[in-house]
Amino acid sequence: MKRKKTGLDFIAEVRDRQRNLVFPDTVVNGRRVTELFWKGSPDATLTQRIAVGLFGVAFTVIGLASLGDLKSEWWGILWCWLIILLGLRTLRNAFLRRKGRES
């Protein structure tokens, strides 16, 4: 049996949805995004996985393109490889499996 929503329920729902827009909650959300990019999340939504994959592809392509433009400067080559590795790690995190799914 569904409960009829009152005006107070609506206000509480809107307040809960907007809660992540103020200071302490934005820090928590930022931490979650950072963990998603660095560690990956088996519970990420499809939209989040696509976004992480796009960032991974972008970093990898930028690193490879920059690597091709260098003229054997060791610091530039090192920097490009770090960007490529960052992109590959981020791309790997986009493909982590959901919990409970069997291969």
Where do the structural domains in the chain lie, given as residue ranges?
7-94
Output the pLDDT for position 39. 79
Residues 6+ apart with CB under 8 A from 29: 20
Residues 6+ apart with CB under 8 A from 77: 67, 70
pLDDT, averaged in runs of 10, over the chain (103 residues): 66 72 71 78 81 91 84 81 91 74 47
Q: Could you tell me where the DSSP H helices lie in 1-103?
A: 7-18, 23-38, 46-69, 74-94
CA–CA separation, 44 and 49 (whole Å): 6
CA–CA separation, 89 and 66 (whole Å): 18
Q: DSSP letter at 53?
A: H
Output the pLDDT for position 102. 46
Output the pLDDT for position 17. 67
Output the pLDDT for position 3. 62
Output the pLDDT for position 85. 92
